[in-house]
Amino acid sequence: MKRNLNLIAILIASVMVMYSCEGPMGPQGEEGPQGDQGDPGTTLGCADCHNSTSPMAAFSAQWEESTHATGGNAAYANRAGCVQCHTSQGFLEYVAEGSVADISVPQYPMQINCSTCHRIHETYSAADWALTKPGAETLEVKYAGADVVWDKGSSNQCVFCHQSRNVSPAPAVNGADFQITSNRIGPHHGPNANLILGKTPFELPGAQPPANNPHSTASGCVTCHMSAPYGYQAGGHNMGVWYDRHGHETMLQSGCATCHVNADNLTSMLATLTDDISDRMEVLEAQLIAAGIYNTTTELANKGTFKANAVLAYLNFNTIKEDRSNGIHNPQYTRVLLDNSIAAMTALGYAAP
C-alpha cells in the first residue's frame, strides 16, 4: 500500500514538473487572409408603424370594410387580361414587368390589399408606406389623337385601373354602320379618370364641353374618397363615399367641404345634380332600347349592326353608368355628353320620350 502511494506521488510530481517547464508564449504569427463578408444585418424598425399611436390599425379596419376588400373582384376576374387590376398578384406583377403580356393567373387570387399599394415590409420602417406605382399615368385611350396624362399625386396609383379601356375598332362620328360583336363593348368598369379630366373618346357633335372641371383637384381621387372618414364605413382607406347612418344612406361630405363650406347648399346642389343626371340617363336609355342596342336584362349591349352615332351614344351612356358618380365627378361635362347623345339619337329617329 505504501508503495502504491509513493508511485502516485511520483506521477503527480512528474506532471507538475512538466507544466512548470513550459516556455513563454512565442511571437504572434502573421495575420491570415480576410474571410468572406457576412450578410448585412437588418435594422428592425417595427415600432415605426406598430405602436400605440400609429394609424395603421384604423387604416386596416377601414380597408376591411371596403369594396376593394369585399367586392369579390379577384374571384370573378381571375383570368388573363383582367388580373392586373382585379388581383393583388397581377397588379404587382405588372408593376414589376411593365407589361400585361406575360402576367400569370394566380392559383389563389387575392383582393387588392395593403401590400398591393404600399411597399410593406421592404425596409421595416416608415418608408414602407411608399406607393408601389407612384408616377404619373398615361391613360390607355388617347383623346383627339393625343396622349392623356393623369398626374395628381398619390391618386396616380388609383388611375392605372380606374380609367377607360380601349374600344377597338371604334365607331367614327357620322361614320359607316358599326357592328357590335361583343356584349361587353365599352370603356369597362370605373372609367373615372377620363370623365374627371373631360376627355372621353366617344364625344358627339353638339354643345361644347366646358374647359375646366372644379372637381378635378390637384390630389384627384383622394380629395373626396380618402377624406376624413366616417368610422370604418366611408372615407380614409375605405375609400367609399356612401355609408349607413341610422338606416339612411348618407353621402360623406368631408372632402366636399374643402370648397363647399355651406353644408345645406351642398346637400341641395347634390340632390339637384343627381336628379338631373338620372333624368337624362333615363331618356337616353329609352332611346337606346328603342334602337335595339341596350339590353335592360343583362345591362349590356346587344350584338348587331347599328348606326355609328347610336353606338357612340351607347358608349357615352355606358361610360356614365360605369362611372357611378351620377355626374358628381364632372357635372357639366356629363350633362354635355348626355345632351349631345340624346340629340344624336333624336336625329336618327329615336325621339326622346
Q: Is the Cβ–Cβ distance between 124 and 115 less than 8 Å?
A: no
Percent of the chain with pLDDT over 90: 73
Alpha-carbon distance of 293 to 311, in angstroms, equals: 8
- Alpha helix (H) ranges present in the chain? 2-20, 56-64, 67-70, 73-76, 83-86, 88-97, 114-117, 156-159, 192-197, 222-225, 263-290, 308-323, 331-347
| Residue range 34-45, pLDDT digits in tens | 766 655 545 457
Instruction: Write the pLDDT tens digit of every residue in 69-98.
Output: 998 888 889 999 899 999 999 999 999 998
Per-residue pLDDT, averaged over 52-77, amounts to: 91
How far apart are alpha carbons 327 and 47 in whole angstroms?
44
How far, in Å, CA of 314 to CA of 333, rounded? 16
Average pLDDT of span 23-27: 63
Higher pLDDT, 353 or 112: 112
Asked if the model's pLDDT at residue 15 lies above 50, the reply is no
- Confidence check: pLDDT of 206 > 90: yes
Q: What are phi and psi of 332, to 5 degrees?
A: -70, -40
pLDDT of residue 17: 45
The pLDDT assigned to 148 comes to 97
Q: Note the pLDDT of residue 223.
A: 95
Give 63-69's long-range contacts (Cβ < 8 A, gap of 24+). 63/113, 63/114, 63/237, 63/238, 64/232, 65/232, 65/233, 65/238, 66/237, 66/238, 66/239, 66/240, 67/239, 67/240, 68/111, 68/112, 68/113, 68/239, 69/111, 69/112, 69/113
According to the model, what pLDDT value does residue 19 have? Answer: 47
* Residue 305 DSSP SS3: strand
Domain coordinates of the chain in residue numbers? 46-129, 167-214+259-347
pLDDT confidence tier of residue 51, bands split at 50, 70 and 90: confident
Whether the CA torsion 231, 237, 242, 244 is positive or negative: it is negative
- Residue 49 buriedness (CB in 10 A; 0-12 / 13-18 / 19+): middle
pTM for this one?
Answer: 0.84
Q: What local confidence, expressed as pLDDT, does residue 321 receive?
A: 97
**Is residue 249 within a helix (H) or strand (E), and if so which, with residue range?**
strand 248-251
Closest residue by Cα to residue 271 from 254, 243, 250: 250
Mean pLDDT of the chain, nearest integer: 89
- C-alpha cell belonging to residue 81: 387580361
Question: What percent helix, strand, coil does the chain show, rounded to 5?
Answer: 40, 10, 50
* 196 confidence band (pLDDT: 50, 70, 90): very high
CB 285 within 8 A of CB 149: no
Question: Predicted confidence band at 263 (pLDDT cuts at 50, 70, 90)?
Answer: confident
Q: What is the mean pLDDT of residues 294-308?
A: 97
Q: Element (H or E) spanning 32, and its range?
A: none
Q: Is 338 left (phi over 0), alpha (psi -120 to 50) or beta?
A: alpha
Q: What is the pLDDT of residues 3-12, one digit of tens each?
A: 555 555 555 5
- Between 295 and 262, residue with greater pLDDT: 295
| Alpha carbon distance 94, 133 (integer Å) | 10
- Check residue 45 and give its pLDDT: 73
Q: Is the pLDDT of residue 14 over 60?
A: no
